Amino acid sequence: MKSIPLLHKAPIWVGIFLVSLWNTQAQNKLTAGADERTPSKAQYFSWINNTNEGPTAEHTKINLDFFGWLKSQYGMQLDIYAMDAGAIDGKNFYGSIYSDRFKKQFPQGFDPLYQQAKALDIRLGVWGGPDGFGDTPEEEKARIDQMVKLCRDYDFALFKFDAVCGPLRPEKEDAFIEMMQQAREYSPDLILLNHRLGLDKAKPYATTFLWGGNETYIDVHMANTMTAPHNRAQAMSRGLVPHLQRLTEDHGVCISSCIDYWEDDLILQSFNRSLILSPEIYGNPWLLNDDEFSKLAQIYNLHRKYRDILVEGKVLSDSYGPNAVSRGDGKTQILSLRNLNWDSATYSITLNEEIGLKAEGDITLLQLHPTEKLIGTFSKGETIPVEVLPFRSALFLASTEEYKDPVITGADFRTIRNISNAPIEIEVLGMPGTTSNIGLLNPDQYTSAQIDGKNADRLLKGKKLKLNFPGDKLKHNFHRQLNPFAEIAIPEDVASLYEATIFAADNNALEVRSLQRSGETNIPEVKAARDAFFNQEAFVNRGVWDKNLFDGDLETGFWPQKKYRLDTRIEGGTLRLDLGAVTFLDKLIITVPNEFALQPLLVGEGNFVEVSTDLVNWEELTYLAEKQSEVNIGKKVRYLRFRNFPQQIVEIEGLANGQKLDRSQWRASNLFAHPSRKKAKKVWKSRIVLDEIAEGSYLSVALNGKHGIEGAYAAAKVGEEYLGADNRASSFPANNWEFMTARRDKNYTYFIPLDKSMIGKEIEVFVMGYDEDNLNFDPELYITAYPHPWKKIKLTLNKK
């Protein structure tokens, strides 16, 4: 038996207890595949990338190529790639790797994927149900043999068993136990995720329990319950697992919708909870923009570096903020803090046993997130103030041991790339118009240095280097509260304000919004993964992207989502069309696939469309409903709205002077209410003049309190120009890919984008309340920016 340190010095009862505890832990590891001290496994699982239709071999190969690129480019190592629902089992059914369905999805079985994953040091996992043992001995044996085969032949590392597929019948618990025992003969460390299974005798064979039962798909299954400058505040407010149990499943971090501030969310999942599966992500991480993949890899790499000591956690006092945790071995401690308020928070870190730091000697304190920063070297027991930005997380390292990763002194920085056999790439960060004198910690580790490609070898001699960051120095904090709101008489143009936000927003799937947020990619593996997702038959067929109306393909379309028989339209909805600019239009042609799709309109029946150039003046026109309806316009227009519209539209075209118009800038929405059904009951206004606008700035209009579901909206005016809120937390309704957006009746925050053309101009910001029973909320106005408006200077270091 492995020795237990200092056991010979302890009283006999302590020794008996420790031996019993060690035996229990060993037995738990034998039956459960892991114990509380097992280092974390880094995972991705494919839910939301595919839904219950299931993944395919080709789609999975492309996704693995993406993780292979992250490994080669940034050194990011994934431990487990888990295929979610529909690979073998599905909702309410049990499948077989010998079935026609499986062979259609995986023509060569799992063999090619296993070989591809193995070459990347990644192991596979799969979602399924706990039963599937049939009603005969032969069916029971077939199920056991199939699941064991996944471990014997393909070295599977994870089974995620979910009651969605069906419960485990009590009489089949022995079969379940037999299956897990045999499977762990080949994969001793096999992780079994227990998702609501209700196991009895078989419970010891489950590695985890599902904490809180929460999926983290932002603004679908998890949405803000407070006002905040981004959509992930609720995810970041998740507490701690009881007793910091690590054999727990928190469903990871979803990177698919509402992507901003994903990194703060992942920091807390990885280092604060640091469960057996950490870092754990799911969805569509390829929807990040090209500048963010290095940060994703950095979080994975940092966790991997310290994962052996992250198994020991200590909950810190409330003076460190909500749910703060320190993890480490007494010589090195990693602290994860957060701030869930609109103002910055200052916390004091005491460098001693209070944070779990037991070793003697000088202590190096660094910030590792949201930027890297050397705070200093201190004596044990000193108390050091640190800042955590509003609605962000922060990660700090305190250590008596030598820190060997590259460190810049005198400035914030971010390590972009640090892999063997390649130069180290670092972004030195500074606010616009500022100056930093930077140095290098441990400069003797490097042979050369370049700043933006120019020689900077003076850093290797221990000398400082002055850096001037471009731009004008900001006079104010880029994140701050602005002028208060005051109630005003309902303005005459209140409907135009409403329409400004409705036309600025959209009803596309949340993933489409993420794609548009991140922009084009220059990385082939990223593009391939994006294309595989958006071009999969299940996504296209759901009609959840307005671009399908303008693609010339009558097999695609855009219609209110009815997957779950839930009407997601607001008060009946209205089809809106924005041509992107004032355009002369002879006629508009609306095509539906058949007469049934035309409903609720009837063939030959007159219907109405309203057109406008400015959101203020509207003209009503009549057209006849047909399978291919022609709407005669004959004038310049930009905005069109239809009080009633076909339930399934496959194409919208425009003609001018006999020529088809370019539709590349056309946009459509179909869920928002017509203004005739939105009568403002109360309006507030704030006036501001901004003498500077940092890059990436936007207004956050926080509606504190209960306003009713879709009961309040915000918009702005700059002179006579209307400025809508193009985003909101919780999100505007979407024609969703997986499930409907969350319906919240309080604490919306509207986001209105800003640009430098607005500097020095009066901006009027309006809040409109429409729910007569919920008008006692309190609006506040903030300016903020994302990402943080750093200026960046590239430092390249060559290692010895």
Question: Cβ(171)–Cβ(20) under 8 Å?
Answer: no
Q: What is the pLDDT of residues 549-597, one digit of tens each?
A: 999 999 999 998 766 667 788 998 999 999 999 999 999 999 999 888 8
Name every residue whose Cβ is closer than 8 Å to that of residue 752 and which is 6 or more positions away in sequence: 698, 699, 701, 714, 715, 716, 723, 724, 725, 726, 765
pLDDT tens readout for residues 150-185: 999 999 999 999 888 888 999 999 999 999 999 999
Please give the domain boundaries of the chain with CATH numbers for all domains. Answer: 39-127+157-164+189-306 (3.20.20), 313-473+790-799 (2.60.40.1180), 480-507+677-785 (2.60.120), 544-671 (2.60.120.260)
Q: Can you tell me the distance from the alpha carbon of 123 to that of 102, in angstroms, rounded to the nearest whole number?
A: 20
Of residues 760, 785, 787, the one with CA closest to residue 694: 785
- Percent of the chain clearing pLDDT 90 (strictly above): 88
First to last CA, the chain: 43
Which tens digits make up the pLDDT trace of 442-486?
999 999 999 999 999 999 999 999 999 999 999 999 999 999 999
Q: Is the peptide bond before 753 cis (omega within 30 degrees of 0)?
A: no
Indicate whether 361 pLDDT > 50.
Answer: yes
**Among the listed residues 499, 481, 479, 474, the one whose alpha carbon sits nearest the alpha carbon of residue 686:** 481
Q: What is the mean pLDDT of the chain?
A: 94
Predicted TM-score (pTM) of the model is 0.94
SS3 label, residue 512: helix
CA proximity to 127, closest of 154, 161, 98, 96: 161
- Distance of alpha carbon 39 from alpha carbon 311, whole angstroms: 6
- Cα distances (angstroms) measured from residue 44 to each of 125, 159, 197, 289: 10, 13, 22, 18
pLDDT exceeds cutoff 60 at 192: yes
Q: What is the pLDDT of residue 24?
A: 42
Q: Determine which of 22-36, 388-402, 479-493, 497-511 has the lowest per-residue pLDDT on average.
A: 22-36
Distance (Å, rounded) from C-alpha 611 to C-alpha 141? 67
- Model pLDDT, residue 12: 45
Q: Cα separation of 49 and 530, whole Å?
A: 10
Q: Is the pLDDT of residue 4 over 50?
A: no
DSSP string, 592-649: -SSHHHHTTS-TT-EEEEEEESSSS--EEEEEE--TEEEEEEEEEEEEEEESS--S-B
For 612, other C-beta atoms within 10 Å of its C-beta total 18
Could you tell me which residues come within 8 angstroms of residue 581 by beta carbon, excluding any fewer than 6 positions away?
Answer: 638, 665
Residue with tokens 């971010």: 414
Other C-beta atoms closer than 10 Å to the C-beta of 389 total: 16
Q: 339 is written with which tokens?
A: 């701030």
pLDDT digits (tens, 9 = 90+) for 287-335: 999 999 999 999 999 999 999 999 999 999 999 999 999 999 999 999 9
Please write the tens of the pLDDT for every residue from 31-71: 889 999 999 999 999 999 999 999 999 999 999 999 999 99
Using the predicted structure, report yes or no on whether residue 8 has a pLDDT greater than 60.
no
To the nearest 5 percent, what fractions of the chain are helix, strand and coil? Answer: 25, 30, 45
Give the model confidence (pLDDT) of 697-712 as tens digits. 999 999 999 999 999 9
- Considering only 733-742, 748-757, 770-779, which range has the smallest mean pLDDT? 733-742
- How many CA atoms lie within 13 Å of 115's alpha carbon, on the beta-carbon side? 5
